Amino acid sequence: MDQTPDERRAAGRALREAVPRSAHGDWSPPPDRADPVDILEAQAASRVPELGPIRYARMAESPFAFFRGAAAVMAMDLASTPATGIRVQACGDAHVDNFGLFASPERNLVFDINDFDETVPGPWEWDVKRLCVSLHVVARQRGFSLAECDVVVTAAARTYRERLAEYTSWRLLDLWYERTEIKEVIEHFPVRYRKRVRRDVKRARRKDHLRAVTKLTEVVDGQRRFIEDPPLIVHLTNTGHDMDEVMALIDSYRANLSDERRYMFDRYRLLDVARKVVGVGSVGTRCWVGLFAGPDDPETDLIVLQVKEAQPSVLEPYVGESTLGNHGKRVVVGQRLIQAASDVFLSWTEGPKGGRHYYVRQLWDLKGQGDPMVMDLDDLGHHGALCAWVLARSHARTGDAIQISGYLGKASTFDEAIATFARQYAATNEADHAALVDTLAHGLPTASVPERPGRSGVVRFDAELSRKPPTTAPHTAAPTRDDQPGAPHSQ
């Protein structure tokens, strides 16, 4: 950057002429907007066909479930909205459920973005809008009024703007060392919510690689292997693939590790491989889990690695293709740029003979998150502000924070515009969700799939989707707001 900080800040302010901050509130579906179900079907063309019904059933559960799986739909819509032209390493799918707790290499719990399937350099505004719309969708589904939803969204947008402004004065190395650790997470919330946060932390500490082994594997004829649970977990031999393909993936992964991590990985031996269904939007992509044993105690020294297919980012049709040559590498590089700390096993691989692209990581590594679907209004506001905080840090690390901050300024103009956009787009999302439910009832394949436990109960996936699922939960009265979400708190 040849310009001085003052010149970059002034350049950001000048962008308001071409892209007024209030313009970010504009949204209505254009008359020629592509059918969202057609977009989902286009994605399905490159995925495992028999898993398609699971994806659609999961997306049909609620407007928020649809939103989680419809990153490609929103990417198309965001491409038609105003943008300043300032780029960052965009997450690409920065909805509220893609933020959470996980372990740093030093075994400390940190809070950060934790999903990077869609990451690619792109407009900073798109991440902010996806986060804020997700908060509105959740708040609306919880039964809060539109005005209350606006409070949650405005708090997140304000926190993003204020945190980004704060980061403009940081030294570069300090910004790259910065992590949001548990003490800061707890102190971010008012006292009345800290018991809930500590409970989430305890759950995250229990969800480690040993729990993955306990939950997903069993001993059969003296050998530990994955528990078959079709179609959600299916052994390699039942998928039409063979061990030669797996070994080619492992060899490619091993070659992409740094020397010291390759030495560590080489001490493990592979015990079993299975295909595992994960997430909502990812369902149908090829995702494998590998069970590995350490050299000395094959019954207790065990890890589960996830080998997840990386397809082109949903942002690429609108921002340009990745230049890294491998979508697994795109995910890994993006994750390392955005996250303050990453898994020691994180790397990428490629199938044999120029095949599919994958990235590799531990399946669970002290992983956890708060459930926004059980938060009251004020708790959700503070949680959304926490997500906005770490999003601002990721953009400051990978973009021109001074120029973006110069554009945003100190007034609430941008915050209010984002709340307006979120309200309007949430209505579009509800209509898209209803359209999917209607389509499932009248022709899209809807084979029954098993039950799976939800975070707040058991959700039934069924072929019977002719009746639209409820879109709101009973209204939960918000407590008196003696704190503004996102603001500092004292005991």
Enclosing H/E stretch for 5: helix 5-18
Mean pLDDT over 400-408 rounds to: 98
Share of the chain above pLDDT 70, in %: 90
Q: Round to whole Å and give the CA distance between 174 and 434.
A: 46
Share of the chain above pLDDT 90, in %: 77
- Looking at residue 445, its pLDDT comes to 52
Q: What is the mean pLDDT of the chain?
A: 89
pLDDT band per the 50, 70, 90 thresholds, residue 1: low
Q: Round to whole Å and give the CA distance between 125 and 486.
A: 19
Is residue 296 over pLDDT 90? Answer: no
Under DSSP, the state recorded for 442 is T
Q: Round to whole Å and give the CA distance between 427 and 281.
A: 20
Alpha helices in 346-412 (DSSP H): 377-398, 401-408
b (16+ CB within 10 A) / e for 10-22: ebbeebbeebebe
Nearest to 97 by CA among 368, 469, 405, 434: 368
Q: Where are the domains of the chain?
A: 5-28+39-206+369-448, 209-362
pLDDT tens-place string over residues 202-218: 998 888 778 889 899 99
DSSP track, 98-154: GEEEEE-TTS-EEEEE---TT-EEEEHHHHHHHHHHHHHHHHHHTT--HHHHHHHHH
Using an 8 Å Cβ cutoff, are 92 and 311 in contact?
no
Is residue 449 over pLDDT 60? Answer: no
Determine which of 292-301, 327-336, 367-376, 381-390 has the lowest per-residue pLDDT on average: 292-301
Mean pLDDT over 339-351 rounds to: 92
